[in-house]
Every structure is written in structure tokens, then in C-alpha cells.
Amino acid sequence: MRQVGKVLRTEGEYALVHVEKRLGCGGERCPLSSSLIDDSGSDFYTVRARNDVHACPGDTVFVEVRDTVALSVAFFLYLFPILLALGVYLLFLVLFARQVLALFGLFGSLGGSFLFLRWLNARFVIDYRVSAFAHPETCNQCPLQPGKIPQGENRD
């Protein structure tokens, strides 16, 4: 996954980069979140990325995260709770032959998956890296160009 961002400041071999939220971020909270992401309701968030190209504050750059990491996050956020709930529901239905107990198992597994995801979020670290410079005059996907209106905002 590759996104365009603007370097805010550098910290040794790392840089804090202002990145536009994508549609996959669900508006309010980005699935690829960490404690460093600013979810203030804006269209942007900040990531701490390894600065492989030695970008300076103010530079427009490409920030990457491995596709396997992005797909893993999406799996755990969206598919894991559904698969766990379905599996527990079917197991309880076979073991107890009472639908009420199977429903309790279903709701319990959803609660358990929520707790597991909170635990995983506290320990999961996403390795962002600045991979290249983006030249705003040739970049048609740069949301950070001067004078460009961010999505959802009107000048009226």
C-alpha cells in the first residue's frame, strides 16, 4: 500500500509524515492505526515512518506499508470476528443442540474477538517507510498540493 504524504519533522532515521486517509480507513478511525495516528476527525493522520530517502520537513513523499501487513490488518478487523462467531455458533449448536446457548456463544465470541483485537492493537507495530519523493507538479494523486480542495470541503 502506497500513499502520498508531507514530512512534518524528522527524528533521526524516522520522519513524522502527514498522510491522507483513504476510503479503507472508514472515515473516523483508520484500520492501520497506532498510538501515533491522529484521529481527530480530519481527512489526514500522522504516521512515524522510516526515512529511507532522507526527506526533510516540507518534502512531499510516498509512504509505504507492505501489502501483507495491510491485508493482515483487514483480515483481523473484518473477517476474524465473523469467522470466529460463526464457528462458535455452529460448535455450540452441535454440542448443546439448543439455539439459545448457541446464540450466547455467538455473542460471547464477538465480545471475545473485540477484546482480542484491542490486545492485538496494543502490541501490533506497523512498519511504515518513506520510499520515494513525490514531485507535486507531476503527481496527479497528491492531496497535499497547494490550492487543491480536500475531499468533502466546499469553498462556498
Within a 10 A sphere around the Cβ of 40, how many other Cβ atoms? Answer: 9
Q: How many residues does the chain have?
A: 156
Within a 10 A sphere around the Cβ of 49, how many other Cβ atoms? Answer: 25
Domain boundaries, the chain: 1-65+126-149, 67-124
Measured CA to CA, the distance from residue 142 to residue 58 in angstroms comes to 14
What confidence score (pLDDT) does residue 139 get? Answer: 53
Instruction: Give the pLDDT confidence of 93-127 residue by residue, as tens digits.
Output: 899 888 888 889 999 999 999 999 888 888 877 88
Query: What is the CATH topology of the domain spanning 1-65+126-149?
Result: SH3 type barrels. (2.30.30)
Q: Which residue has the higher pLDDT, 29 or 115?
A: 115
Q: Is the pTM of this model over 0.85?
A: no
Within a 10 A sphere around the Cβ of 44, how many other Cβ atoms? Answer: 15
Residue labelled with grid coordinates 470476528: 81
